[in-house]
């Protein structure tokens, strides 16, 4: 923590609040002996923002010449190392951009004596050591301008395609309706059958009256049986369509009531057998060789069979009836 750095950050004017927060946390991470080199993840966590937003604020601070970023790679593994942040209050902060890279001083004569970097063939640009570091043309961080959230379309493509499909189906149906009414396909339609009002009136038969396209064409064809000429516009057919819709609704209600009445009707009760029929039935079991549980014949039924002479006591004993 550097009190000098945080005080310096607080005194900076003309910064947006979020940008100033990033600068303050950078200064808070500054060490007078070793400098400032927090990771992007640590700095984003300190400032409570995403790495994309953090990168935008860092770029703004660097453009305002309040910080200077020095990126480097490990010379052996070539892995990116933590970025070194040089803050504006530090001694040796680059004040003028170099003609070639736009970063920092042009460098001292000793620094220019260093060997060029293997990747870019550019001399050292860090201003701290003659050992070169690659000149990175692009940051490894996400560019927030390439990760913008796209606004939703006012009319999604699928909805437009569905609307076009519905219009195409309705145009086909409207042409079939005109044909059923006796209009030739290549003939010029009367004014009352042209334009949006006529089509809106026909749509009302579907939406408000609940008629299907097939039913509308059927009704339209029936009207021509009584009228030699086509109707003067769809309004002339409103009365026929409304009556047909009413008849269809009544028929559907009657059908539903009939099904309900059939469901509620109790099944016919099976007529009960007479005592003679019951005695004959059980006597047939006793006199047969079929299996007969002893408890199946009650005392009253045994007496009824003996009284009517349908079985003998010996047969009852043989069948296990006591």
Domains of the chain (ranges, CATH numbers): 3-146 (1.10.10.10), 157-264 (no CATH), 275-318 (no CATH)
Average pLDDT of the segment spanning 173-190: 82
C-alpha closest to that of 129 among 114, 144, 139: 114
Q: What pLDDT band is residue 101 in, cutting at 50, 70 and 90?
A: very low
Mean pLDDT of 65-87: 84
pLDDT band at 316 (very low <50, low <70, confident <90, very high): confident
303 burial (CB, 10 Å; 0-12 / 13-18 / 19+) is exposed
Which has the higher per-residue pLDDT, 316 or 108? 316
Instruction: Give whole-number Cα distances, 232 to 83, 164, 181, 223, in Å.
Output: 82, 29, 11, 12
* pLDDT computed for residue 119 by the predictor: 46
Percentage of residues in the chain having pLDDT higher than 90: 7
Can you give the pLDDT at residue 137? 44
Q: Is the dihedral of CA 284, 289, 293, 298 positive or negative?
A: positive
Phi, psi of 86 (to 5 degrees): -95, 120
Share of the chain above pLDDT 70, in %: 75
5-35 residue pLDDT tens:
788 888 888 888 999 899 888 888 888 878 8
- Average pLDDT value over all residues in the chain: 77
Cα separation of 281 and 33, whole Å?
Answer: 116
Q: CB of 130 within 8 A of CB of 124?
A: yes
Query: What is the rounded CA–CA span in Å between residue 306 and residue 288?
Result: 16
């Amino acid at each position: 923590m550097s009190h000098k750095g945080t005080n310096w950050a607080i005194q900076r004017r003309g910064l947006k609040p979020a940008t100033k927060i990033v600068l303050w946390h950078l200064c808070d991470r500054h060490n007078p002996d070793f400098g400032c080199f927090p990771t992007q993840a640590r700095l984003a966590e300190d400032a409570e923002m995403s790495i994309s937003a953090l990168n935008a604020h860092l770029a703004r601070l660097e453009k305002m010449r309040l910080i200077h970023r020095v990126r480097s790679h490990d010379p052996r593994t070539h892995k990116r190392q933590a970025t070194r942040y040089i803050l504006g209050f530090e001694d040796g902060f680059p004040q003028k951009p170099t003609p070639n890279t736009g970063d920092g001083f042009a460098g001292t004569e000793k620094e220019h004596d260093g060997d060029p970097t293997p990747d870019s063939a550019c001399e050292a640009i860090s201003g701290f050591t003659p050992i070169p570091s690659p000149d990175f043309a692009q940051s490894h961080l996400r560019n927030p301008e390439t990760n913008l959230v796209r606004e939703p379309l006012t009319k999604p493509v699928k909805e437009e395609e569905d609307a076009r499909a519905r219009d195409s189906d309705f145009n086909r149906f409207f042409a079939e309706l005109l044909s059923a009414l006796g209009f030739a396909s290549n003939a010029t339609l009367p004014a009352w059958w042209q334009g949006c009002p006529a089509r809106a009136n026909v749509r009302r038969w579907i939406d408000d009256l609940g008629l299907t396209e097939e039913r509308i064409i059927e009704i339209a064809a029936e009207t021509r049986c009584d009228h030699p000429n086509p109707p003067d516009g769809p309004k002339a057919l409103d009365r026929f369509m409304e009556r047909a819709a009413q008849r269809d609704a009544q028929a559907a209600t009657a059908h539903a009531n009939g099904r309900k009445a059939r469901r509620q009707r109790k099944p016919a009760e099976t007529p009960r057998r007479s005592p003679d029929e019951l005695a004959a039935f059980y006597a047939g079991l006793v006199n047969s060789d079929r299996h007969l549980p002893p408890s199946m014949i009650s005392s009253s039924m045994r007496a009824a069979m003996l009284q009517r002479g349908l079985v003998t006591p010996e047969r009852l004993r043989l069948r296990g009836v006591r």
